[in-house]
């Protein structure tokens, strides 16, 4: 009798496990499918004008400086004619020839910036505006590389001297856009990245966009800057010398309600890569992270909410040296960024690419990059008070915002 009972319990256990595994697959499938449907309806909703909170179409703020917003760009984003496909050349190989592998250098702390003229001489195949396309094969990907900048010219020189030869060696078709924030107000990296996305899309049809800090030097050219093929964004700089090459991810102190306390969030700053539909489905970066901190996690949360996972097929070969630097006063830490993070997901629909506005002051095609200078305005006084206020631990995540984010920049 006990023998019978034992085999009966064994069989019941098997059935139970079968049931648990089957339900797991059904639930996962339904969640993924639901998320993808949601992405598409969101992309379509951006195309309908009624859904825009602001409509700045044709609005001018002074005699010659137009205010740009998503509206001005809708046509370009939909379809931008591109001659590249007409080239009758064989596709570039899966593995670009002549890559060097590890480029780690001992003299990183002593990197002397070469003058721009010298970098141009060393990179004779670049076209004006910092553009390159391989001559003997048809490139697999077309990339816009977008660098946020103000000051830090020396870092830009070091970056371009280091990266231009690598990007060409990887047989990319690419253009470098340096997005310069004018004036001396608080820096707003997220907002200039949004503007960079729109300006680049207007310029040309790209397969994907790389948001690239000026101080990040790739240490291995086998980490290819090829666009995601797996329909997920990429975070390239998860292994950084400054963080002892430890895979960077963390649990969020302040998080939206649908993120679990123990859930780890991968690092999404430094160098990240998105396609147009991924970025648009997340409504771009949030525009309201003035000063340092938070905007990178916020974008990750937006993408996560859209059902994306991060992917990096090159693993540890994507490692970076970060040039040492101090934090600028005009990029002071935003002490409100934790509280903003709590609402990252509820805010994403109302605020981002669809509410972005800026003035483009100039576009200059330099030999090594396209230089776009923009004015993104400045935060209102209540915001500055909010971001400078010394928060206690108790109020860190839950602070009321003393301004209406839907009606300010
Ligand atoms: C981290 C992230 C960065 C960003 C930031 C939080 C890394 C490697 N990077 O950067 O992606 O999310 O935290 O806000 O961890 N910049 C200027 N002029 C300025 C200020 C900033 O050009 O006055 C640009 C420049 O391209 C710089 C980038 O903005 O690399 C990010 O600023 P950072 O390097 O001072 O911040 P960091 O290293 O803490
Ligand atoms: Mn940095």
SS3 track for 146-214: EEEECCCHHHHHHHHHHHHHHHHHCCCEEEEEEEEECCCCCCCHHHHHHHHHHHHHHHCCCCEEEEECC
Left, alpha or beta for 368 (phi > 0: left; psi -120 to 50: alpha)?
A: alpha
Q: Rounded mean pLDDT of 287-309?
A: 95
Domain range summary for the chain, segments of one domain joined by +: 1-52, 61-405
- Residue 171's pLDDT is what? 97
Q: Which atom of ligand 1 is nearest to the CA of 330?
A: 23
Instruction: Supply the pLDDT for residue 402.
Output: 76
For the residues of 60-84, what is the DSSP string, one character each? BSSSS-BEE-HHHHHHHHH----SG
Q: Which of 269, 337, 338 to mutate to test the pocket of ligand 1 (most atoms within 8 A of CB)?
A: 269
Candidates 171, 195, 170; CA nearest to 182 is 195
**C-alpha 267 to ligand 2 mean position (Å):** 14
- CA separation for the pair 269, 310 (Å, rounded): 12
Percent of the chain with pLDDT over 70: 85
**Pocket test residue of 213, 215, 324 for ligand 1, highest count of atoms within 8 A of CB:** 213
Task: Look at residue 84 and tell me whether its pLDDT is greater than 80.
Answer: no
Average pLDDT score over residue span 342-360: 93
Q: What is the pLDDT of residue 86?
A: 55
Residue 332 reports pLDDT greater than 90: yes
Nearest atom in ligand 1 to the alpha carbon of residue 215 is: 30
Residue 63 has what pLDDT? 35
Token representation of residue 18: 């079968």
306-319 average pLDDT score = 87
CA 192–ligand 1 middle distance (angstroms): 12
Question: Residue 145: what pLDDT?
Answer: 98
| From 154, 331, 340, 372, mutation site for ligand 1 pocket: most ligand atoms within 8 A of C-beta | 331
pLDDT given for residue 174 in this prediction: 98
Would you state the pLDDT for residue 310?
86
Q: Give the lowest-confidence range in 17-21, 61-65, 83-87, 390-394.
A: 61-65
pLDDT at 59: 29
The closest ligand to the CA of 211 turns out to be: 1
Question: Helix, strand, or coil here: 251?
Answer: strand
Task: State the average pLDDT over residues 289-303.
Answer: 96
> Which tokens belong to 226?
């090829």
Which of the ligands is closest to the CA of residue 300?
1
pLDDT of amino acid 364: 93
What pLDDT does residue 65 have?
61
Atom of ligand 1 nearest to the CA of 292: 14
Distance of CA 313 to the CA centre of its chain: 17
Ligand 2 centroid–CA 71 distance in Å is 32
Tokens (6 digits) for 10: 């064994």
What pLDDT shows up at residue 57?
25
Cite the DSSP H helix spans in 211-365: 276-281, 295-305, 337-342, 344-347
Residue 365 has a pLDDT of 95
Regarding pTM above 0.95, the answer is: no
Greater confidence (41 vs 308) lies with 308
- Nearest-angstrom CA–CA distance, 284 and 353: 5
* 131-132 and 234-235 strand pairing: unpaired
Q: In the predicted model, what is the mean pLDDT of residues 371-385?
A: 92
The answer to whether the CB of 193 falls within 8 A of the CB of 338 is no
Report pLDDT digits (tens) over 159-170: 999 999 999 999
Q: Which atom of ligand 1 is nearest to the CA of 237?
A: 8
User: Which pLDDT does position 10 carry in this prediction?
Assistant: 87
Chain CA centroid to CA 151, Å = 21
Give whole-number Cα distances, 39 to 75, 118, 305, 353, in Å.
20, 46, 9, 15
The string of DSSP codes covering 86-125 is: G---PBPPSS-TT---B---S-GGG-PPPPHHHHHHH-TT
385/325 Cα distance (integer angstroms) = 26
Query: Region 368-377: what's the mean pLDDT?
Result: 95
**pLDDT at 51 (0 to 100):** 25
Q: What is the pLDDT of residues 126-146, one digit of tens each?
A: 999 999 999 999 999 999 999
pLDDT tens string 6-60: 888 888 888 888 888 888 887 766 655 554 443 333 333 333 322 222 222 222 3
C-alpha 78 to ligand 1 mean position (Å): 31
Closest ligand, as measured to the CA of 196: 1
Q: Considering the domain 61-405 in this protein, what is its CATH number?
A: 3.90.550.10
Closest atom of ligand 1 to CA, residue 148: 26
Q: Which of 4-13, 202-211, 248-257 has the highest mean pLDDT?
A: 202-211
The helix, strand and coil proportions of the chain, stated in percent and rounded to the nearest 5, come to 35, 15, 45
Q: Are 282 and 303 within 8 A, CB to CB?
A: yes
Predicted local confidence at residue 105, as pLDDT: 81
pLDDT at 39: 31
- Residue 47 pLDDT: 32
3-state SS, residue 217: strand
Which residue has its alpha carbon closest to ligand 1 atom 6? 293
Ligand 1, atom 31: nearest CA belongs to which residue? 213
Give the distance (Å) from ligand 1 centre to CA of residue 390.
22
Q: How far is the CA of 318 from the centre of ligand 1 (A)?
A: 19
How far is the C-alpha of 142 from the C-alpha of 84, rounded, in Å? 9
Nearest CA to ligand 1 atom 35: 327
Ligand 1 neighbours, Cβ below 6 Å, are 148-152, 187, 189, 213-216, 237, 240, 269-270, 292-293, 295-296, 322, 327-328, 330-331
Is the torsion defined by CA of 381, 383, 384, 385 positive or negative? Answer: positive
Residues in the chain: 409
Tell me the average pLDDT of the chain: 85
Q: Whose CA is nearest to atom 19 of ligand 1?
A: 150
């Amino acid at each position: 009798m006990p023998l019978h009972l034992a085999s009966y319990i064994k069989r019941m256990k098997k059935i139970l496990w079968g049931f648990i595994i089957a339900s797991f697959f059904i639930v996962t499938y339904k969640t993924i499918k639901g998320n993808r449907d949601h992405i598409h309806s969101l992309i379509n909703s951006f195309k309908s004008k009624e859904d825009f909170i602001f409509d700045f179409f044709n609005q001018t703020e002074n005699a010659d400086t137009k205010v740009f917003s998503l509206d001005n760009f809708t046509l370009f984003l939909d379809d931008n004619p591109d001659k590249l496909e007409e080239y009758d050349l064989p596709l570039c190989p899966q593995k670009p020839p002549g890559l060097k592998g590890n480029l780690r250098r001992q003299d990183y702390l002593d990197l002397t910036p070469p003058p721009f003229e010298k970098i141009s001489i060393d990179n004779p195949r670049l076209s004006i505006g910092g553009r390159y396309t391989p001559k003997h094969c048809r490139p697999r990907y077309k990339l816009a590389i977008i660098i946020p900048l103000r000051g830090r010219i020396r870092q830009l020189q070091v970056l371009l001297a280091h990266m231009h030869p690598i990007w060409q060696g990887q047989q990319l078709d690419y253009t470098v856009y340096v997005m310069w924030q004018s004036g001396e107000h608080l820096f707003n990296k997220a907002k200039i990245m949004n503007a960079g996305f729109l300006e680049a899309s207007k310029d040309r049809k790209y397969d994907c966009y790389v948001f690239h800090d000026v101080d990040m030097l790739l240490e291995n050219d086998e980490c290819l800057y090829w666009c995601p093929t797996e329909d997920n964004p990429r975070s390239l700089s998860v292994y950084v010398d400054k963080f002892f090459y430890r895979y960077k991810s963390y649990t969020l102190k302040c998080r939206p309600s649908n993120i679990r306390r123990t859930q780890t969030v991968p690092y999404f700053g430094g160098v990240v890569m998105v396609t147009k539909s991924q970025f648009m489905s997340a409504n771009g970066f949030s525009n309201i992270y003035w000063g340092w901190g938070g905007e990178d996690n916020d974008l990750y949360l937006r993408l996560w909410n859209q059902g994306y996972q991060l992917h990096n097929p090159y693993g540890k070969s994507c490692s970076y040296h970060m040039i040492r630097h101090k934090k600028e006063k005009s990029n002071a830490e935003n002490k409100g960024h934790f509280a903003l993070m709590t609402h990252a997901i509820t805010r994403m629909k109302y605020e981002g690419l669809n509410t972005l506005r800026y003035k483009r002051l100039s576009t200059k095609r330099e030999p090594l990059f396209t230089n776009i200078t923009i004015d993104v305005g400045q935060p209102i006084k209540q915001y500055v008070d909010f971001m400078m206020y010394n928060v206690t631990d108790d109020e860190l995540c839950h602070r009321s915002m003393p301004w209406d984010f839907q009606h300010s920049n």
